[in-house]
Amino acid sequence: MPRLKSHSGSGGLLLSHGSSSRRILALKLFLLGMGGCALLAAVYLPGRETGIASENIRESNMRTLMGDTPAEADLLGASPARDDVIPPPDSSTAIATITMSSSSITTVAVAPTPSAAPALLLFPADAQLRDLTGALINANEALAGKSVGLYFGAGWCSMTRAANPGVSAWITAREADGVTLVYVSSDMDAAGLTQQQTENGWPFAVPHDSPLRTSLKEKYRVWSMHEDKAFKGRRVSGIPTMMVVGKDGEEMARLDVGMKGVDELAKWNYVEWKWE
């Protein structure tokens, strides 16, 4: 009598073998699906690489999915001409760019170094002095190369009248050495100024109506006691006073020829103190 147990066991083995085959097939399909997903991800997801080489790789991967075999040139990075890819500049473009860049650099305007400010002058460029003939001449031209003393005085002042002869003699004796005098008057009017210049032979005088008469008195703080109300601040010296000055107005010496006499003029270094 046949053994059903053995037969049924054989049937059980066959059933078990069929179930195993289906599991293997399902596993293969699963792996194939995973591989496809990975391949699609490589095609559509952007990687860290950018540019034409990355685009070529994505195109090659797509061809693989579509069953096309990528050409060797594609794998090396070459690709057909594309409208959306900007070709690298050729040598002529690069040269033009460099030339343009160089031109822009060389044509940049560089602000010139500011020149030194012109030296300040005691007398403005258009200032005028009155000479012994009564003519008006340019102050800076007349005094160029001279050693200049500003003589503050007035005809009505007894101390000025007493000092005038000695001052005049001292100046005249040194005119050949470049010594000269500019009379800054405290006279009451133009006639008084003219009289003093003519009688004493003052080479130059500030005109009576010139604003320089006031500005020079204010600058060096020299005026008569009758003029105290016309100026603010303290008077340093009265009249007569000789102020030896430089072209820029620098005070070289303040000589009180009224109180100390004409011997004060010996302090005047006329050899070095000149308007150069």
β-bridge partners, 129 = 137
Tens-level pLDDT at each residue, the chain (276 residues) = 444 444 444 444 444 455 666 777 777 777 776 766 566 555 455 444 444 444 554 555 555 445 544 444 444 444 444 444 455 555 444 444 444 444 455 555 555 566 655 668 999 999 999 999 999 999 999 999 999 999 999 999 999 999 999 999 999 999 999 999 999 999 999 999 999 999 999 999 999 999 999 999 999 999 999 999 999 999 999 999 999 999 999 999 999 999 999 999 999 999 999 998
Nearest to 74 by CA among 97, 52, 56, 95: 56
Rounded to whole angstroms, the maximal C-alpha distance in the chain is: 179
Q: Phi first, then psi: what are they for 77, rounded to 5°?
A: 110, -5
pTM, whole model, 2 decimals?
0.59
Give the contacts of 3 (CB within 8 A, at least 6 positions apart): none
Q: In what order do the strands lie in the sheet with 128-131?
A: 136-138, 128-131, 204-205, 179-185, 147-153, 241-245, 251-255
Q: How far apart are CA 14 and CA 255, in angstroms?
A: 142
